[in-house]
Structure 1
């Protein structure tokens, strides 16, 4: 609280508010306030702060919509330097968009709620739409946008309108339409890191009824990370940019009653993304938040010693923000993304009602190799052979019919939606050439920390002295254990040759959204939607890890409890050996599996809103809404079962009480019940909006990395007191009776928004969001009350990851005239002030991020009617260092999230021997600056 109090004070002082889309018309561009309603003013309204939005499927003034919705216009996005939805963070305090392992893995959060991780089997809690067309995952929206009209950010569940249900909110990008007057623009930008961006657009008539528009963007930039060991074809920079975007449109308007808009777009990206730096190399578990650079790179740190013995280096040691990394020679982060799509929207006034049809097809494919152990030791990799990719092919059709009845008493809307999505995921994740030596050395170092006992060049990573010492320590079990360690050390260059996952999803819905105007002041909105979802899943594997099934078969007699069983401590050690050999269920035994399954879901969602307008200035409302996000399949072999048993072993029981197979991959739909009250105040030169909300999430879908594998689990609360059983290391304790299961995630808070126009040349906006987004004190897994996974022991009672309690945004724009020549200046700055939050989904304290403030600024001079402009700009002006997401470095920490902890501890090793914590992070961008020239005609 002390660290964030100043944020609260700053926000209130600045009249906390959002960024409204108040764009002045420019030559060759359309304004968003062309309705007659927007020009009708009295002494209570101001034309400059009125904007038309379509958040409720209708064209309405923003201040007349009883929803928490924010609209950001093209001019403010341009001033802030936003070129994709990630940069909306600077203008929307309730929104946080971040990217992690690849640019395809972007995650959007609203009010602290979002989908974590990069598993494409999970849909987005925050849906992204572009021109009414759903993008399959929010990361797909991290792309150049071209010229846009506005962006609408709807906060809270959207369970009635739009193509897909969204449990936390949605982002809707509306692009510039073709115009029947010839015009266009050209823009060129150059900045540091050799940043070059060129953008152009042209629009005009083809005939009296047909107009066209063409937008194109090219952008490239050097990487933010320097590779210190670059040689032999290894990249010397990572996190660069290389993008090409083209969008073409046709607008056919043969009469006032009919409008047909056809859009086609194509995008290609070839970018080296995404590197990560070490932020923590700790010897012991530290229950207090760490400080980036809190390292212990010394021989006393066993895993550091193991990595150094294999040639490991730590270029970010002591200063992760030097942005220096080391990668395994021959590996690459060079990903390739290609996306294209076509859509057609028909708006037809059929007399007494308007029919809207949106038809779309989209194809998205992203290939992403990577050195996914994030260091130069070859432990884990995805090769650049074209076999690591994800592809979405989506067809969608939406129909809406709307009109009014009973002399305006009823504003009605009915509709239907259908979508077919084919998801193909191929993976080639494999152990590297040094994994066997690393895993064996790590195990030996955990049992006995004496460095002289290890030799990574010898079988089992055992020197002669080490083999003798362990033989004496193990006694009669020495031949068994040592044979297993020796085999472990040979697990090199094996894994998925190809692992293929297929998911075909069919979604259809019918919905209605109706506004009853009881009186001129009082309205009731009722919306209802029925959704039917079916997902067909299949998977097959070609895994080359033949050592895993050998280990499983060899150790099975010794860990079954029979006559040949080892003592409990040694059984645990044997299980640890098998786990390290078969991490993530990497096993040739998978090749015999051809998995198939399906899911069927039916869900009712909707909304009810009561709104009251006592006068032309004030709108007061209260609402209830129910949202839904579909369940699905975890597209990750690590979720299939326990790696210590073979796939066909009857003891391999998963979280659903089912054998090794598809039931262990499934997760249930996420449901949210949300309550909101608020008001909107509108005056000639001032708007002030307020919304208070409370949201309860049942079966919250969490995806987290535990240092070895990704876990997908539904999170629920328990009405009964579980004591500390949901925070212990046991996978069986902490169950809850079915009747006591309740929502597990709560989001409660308020949002204040204001915009001030003290002079025709000055616009001041600000926004303040307080969101207490947290887990309940007593947590369980599924809605059946199964125990919480031990890796999530820090979750009960804490805030969600990437969910700061306080966020303040402000912006200032001044466009004074220069003399009488028609020239004008631009003085612009915006800021986002964020409170403390944890960036790791397991909430490990070393992943805490202190509060920070980001400032963007722009200075420019503009010609008459803004036909040309030259601007100097800076993003992250004060070069603030912060991390987007921190994570347990793969296989390089044996902290409380690792499944070998209990096993090694039972063998008798002291706590300090296994409590090493390695944390890495994907850093946010440093300061960038440059110059932009723009010309309009």
Structure 2
């Protein structure tokens, strides 16, 4: 049934569908060479203006009209238009993550750069989340698939999103638009373009948006995941001479919003989770769909400590949340910058210079445990999980022709200096000391659990463990006082943690690149590109922790680490010192530096057997820099294996003692990829089609995952020798590989097809199809020195990557018929995206599965003569499809049995009025 459904959907989308746009403002010289085709799409994907169908790489292009019809205001909404692209966000919109062909970087840890680079007007944005702001008027968007580095300033290992905004012209014109929709959405947009003189033109654009949140806070009142944002952008164009021009752009955007709430995962979200009985989070004697079960004993603890039971019984797609009273999701984002682009044509060559400075500043408060029990939180303020990027960049490109047009050459240089400051105030809540000891007692004897009691013990329970109850002996022998004392210390860990800890990272990189097209014959081209990149990163950490209970606990439990009670003692230390919140770190001076240099490049052979058909084959090598895990937990070794404490298994296993002062534990290595691709592009008068088959092999793949307590950053490789299942067990010391036997750990391979059809003057269809197998290899290891895989990732070997559906079909239809002879015209627009099932959690645990789903957007309207005005009615997610962006381990709750989820947006609808003058 599933295959039939997918095939049927693919067929429908192929019949009725546009997402890749025709650009009606194509340059004259390109349009004149467009043969007999009216289906001209112009891009600069190779640093030169070319028809899309003449570019021998896989690229999707979307123009202004398609973006407007689809309602795309930020890069997340490009999902509907580009089948190989998936953009999602998690606990903070600054954490936005873009994936191409199933490859991307989870954005929760700012120390990791994006596998998919985002450029706006030629300027690199430090992380993908910067593209989740309002974009304003956009001329076109290009999505380049596969490694990039020989054409743009910043290199990328998986792909690139290039956004070109509307620039100034020498015509006096303006526009305005107003939207009202459900959730009390108000969106106002307007702009003015005007000549200042015969050589200077200016443009100013602004966007304002406010909207109520999708989640209802049943504890504190109000809504969460609201929108309150604006964008201002001003531009000047100076055509100093016919051969020299300058474009100055300044922009400022602000978001003052409450984001991002989460709900508990229930069978309504992840019905597939019940297929694995051993890890079934919904099984239990309380009945189908109950989270209150013997398999999940932490739930009664939460309920006893004040959790509203409706959090477990409500339909999660009703979007009711039950957080801790008084906790907030308030946050603010400021993003501004200025850039100057100079273009100089001095005869035999053209020089382009792009100089830019940008600042991006975000802070986000949160009820970080997402429960009604006060376990973990960030208080509102400038230190609330704050990240600040200050980036200067300079790009130079020189290009021209040689040997009577036989060689089309380009050489370039790039320099960037970026300061990243991360400041945090993550603290244990007022009930952490009541909650955390219960995890210990559940592992010792669940019958003794008494939430609210000292150390989660009733007086009777304490007497049983002490051996003072009739007929009992001390439960832990001579170590009993130390264990019970440890529980008492743990019970006092409340309202302490980080109080402005700062991570300061500087990244300085420079690169030289070249991209050359050799016209061997009139129909045969050879493209050769190369890049040298040099990157230096330095890190300084200034700890400001307030948890003084950790040193006391460590002193009390350390003697037990060499005894059979090591697991229990390690658990007490770990839960007391969780997240390296100890005051012990305040006196440390953590500094480190890493240096990298890498040669990458591409070679493409393209052949045109007839004028309308292009065939090509390519090899590319891509690179993404390594860096530092900006989660202080990574400084230390683990105190206990993941099976301990959370799963009530043996407590005698201990991975290793803490290593407090080793910044090397924070480092992760650079990611590289070898990519192979063959493709074909056909251009007819009313029909175009592009197809590509590819294989990408990633070494040192950078994985960021949340294991329920900390963010793990792990390089992923594979071993050429069978590890005998050692990469799938819970032992952190098994599964090593000889360094000379290390192989790529992630393979992405598949096919992509995109097509356009224009059967009449007013009717256009587009279709996109992507089938990709993006999977981890078997016999996985960590870094390329052969170290074992972290046991928290033991489900990865041989499985599909998270957020990497194997099949995506997109389609759109646009019909703009004239209405009589009045000059009026109609608009009927639909687009759709069908996505097969996938796991949304980067550790691939059960309960994070998302089943296949379809999202449809629609717009109908009437437009005046020459599109001077329009009235449109629209809907996003027309059929109110329920699906999840990302599911994750609920912080500090039993990670294999309790998950939370960030839901995708529900149906939105409204009316928009536009005018041009």
Give the TM-score, by structure 1 length. Answer: 0.92
2:20 is equivalent to residue 20 of structure 1:
yes
Could you say which residue in structure 1 is the equivalent of 2:10? 11
Could you say which residue in structure 1 is the equivalent of 2:509? 507
| Paired residue secondary structure (2:614) | strand
Deviation at 1:724, TM superposition (A): 0.7
Assess, with a 3 A threshold, how the Cα gap between structure 1 residues 614 and 427 changes in structure 2: closer, same or farther: same
Which of 423, 430, 433 is 1:433 aligned to? 430
Deviation at 1:580, TM superposition (A): 1.0
Assess, with a 3 A threshold, how the Cα gap between structure 1 residues 287 and 449 changes in structure 2: closer, same or farther: closer
Alignment of 1:346-361 (within 5 A): 346-361=342-357
**Contact 2:18 2:764 survives alignment (8 Å):** no
2:467 is equivalent to residue 466 of structure 1:
no
**C-alpha deviations, 1:276-303, integer Å up to 9, x for none?**
0001499997457878993323587421
Could you say which residue in structure 2 is the equivalent of 1:581? 576
| Paired residue secondary structure (2:683) | strand
1: CA distance, partners of 2:490 / 2:46: 59
Deviation at 1:3, TM superposition (A): 2.8
Deviation at 1:41, TM superposition (A): 4.9
Could you say which residue in structure 2 is the equivalent of 1:34? 27
Alignment of 1:526-925 (within 5 A): 526-560=528-562, 565=563, 568=564, 570-642=565-637, 644=639, 660-895=661-896, 917-925=897-905
| Paired residue secondary structure (1:609) | strand
**Contact 1:280 1:918 survives alignment (8 Å):** no
**C-alpha deviations, 1:544-582, integer Å up to 9, x for none?**
11111111111111213xxxx4xx1x2211111111111
| Paired residue secondary structure (1:845) | coil
**C-alpha deviations, 1:244-298, integer Å up to 9, x for none?**
1000000011332111100000001001000000014999974578789933235
**C-alpha deviations, 1:770-813, integer Å up to 9, x for none?**
01000001100000010000000000000000000000000000
Deviation at 1:357, TM superposition (A): 0.3
**C-alpha deviations, 1:719-762, integer Å up to 9, x for none?**
10011100000001000111110000000000011000000100
Give the TM-score, by structure 2 length. Answer: 0.94
| Paired residue secondary structure (1:873) | strand
Assess, with a 3 A threshold, how the Cα gap between structure 1 residues 126 and 861 changes in structure 2: closer, same or farther: same
Deviation at 1:14, TM superposition (A): 3.8
Could you say which residue in structure 2 is the equivalent of 1:249? 235
Could you say which residue in structure 1 is the equivalent of 2:649? none
**Contact 1:23 1:76 survives alignment (8 Å):** no
Alignment of 1:125-164 (within 5 A): 125-164=115-154
2:222 is equivalent to residue 236 of structure 1:
yes
Deviation at 1:873, TM superposition (A): 0.2
Which of 386, 397, 402 is 2:399 aligned to? 402
Could you say which residue in structure 2 is the equivalent of 1:903? none
Report which stretch shifted further, 576-585 or 300-309: 300-309
**Contact 1:761 1:816 survives alignment (8 Å):** yes
Could you say which residue in structure 1 is the equivalent of 2:333? 337
Assess, with a 3 A threshold, how the Cα gap between structure 1 residues 752 and 643 changes in structure 2: closer, same or farther: closer
2:208 is equivalent to residue 218 of structure 1:
yes
Which of 172, 175, 194 is 1:185 aligned to? 175
Assess, with a 3 A threshold, how the Cα gap between structure 1 residues 662 and 267 changes in structure 2: closer, same or farther: same
2: CA distance, partners of 1:215 / 1:656: 57
2: CA distance, partners of 1:284 / 1:462: 36
2:373 is equivalent to residue 377 of structure 1:
yes
Could you say which residue in structure 1 is the equivalent of 2:644? none
Assess, with a 3 A threshold, how the Cα gap between structure 1 residues 809 and 481 changes in structure 2: closer, same or farther: same
Which of 302, 323, 327 is 1:327 aligned to? 323
**Contact 2:136 2:207 survives alignment (8 Å):** yes
2:96 is equivalent to residue 98 of structure 1:
no
**Contact 1:18 1:93 survives alignment (8 Å):** no
**Contact 1:356 1:401 survives alignment (8 Å):** yes
Could you say which residue in structure 2 is the equivalent of 1:208? 198
Deviation at 1:405, TM superposition (A): 0.6
Which of 354, 357, 362 is 2:358 aligned to? 362
Deviation at 1:644, TM superposition (A): 4.3
**C-alpha deviations, 1:811-854, integer Å up to 9, x for none?**
00000010100000001000000001000000012100000000
**Contact 1:290 1:847 survives alignment (8 Å):** no
**Contact 2:637 2:659 survives alignment (8 Å):** no
2: CA distance, partners of 1:865 / 1:154: 33
**Contact 2:780 2:789 survives alignment (8 Å):** yes
Report which stretch shifted further, 777-786 or 314-323: 314-323
Which of 443, 446, 449 is 1:449 aligned to? 446
2: CA distance, partners of 1:367 / 1:164: 26
**C-alpha deviations, 1:152-174, integer Å up to 9, x for none?**
00000102121111000010100
**Contact 1:127 1:134 survives alignment (8 Å):** yes
Runs (5+) with no aligned partner, structure 1 = 25-30, 646-652, 896-916
| Paired residue secondary structure (1:294) | coil
Deviation at 1:40, TM superposition (A): 4.5
Deviation at 1:225, TM superposition (A): 0.3
2: CA distance, partners of 1:315 / 1:94: 38
2: CA distance, partners of 1:828 / 1:460: 62
Runs (5+) with no aligned partner, structure 2 = 268-272, 468-474, 641-653
Report which stretch shifted further, 292-301 or 777-786: 292-301
**Contact 2:151 2:513 survives alignment (8 Å):** yes
1: CA distance, partners of 2:625 / 2:23: 37
Count matched residues: 885
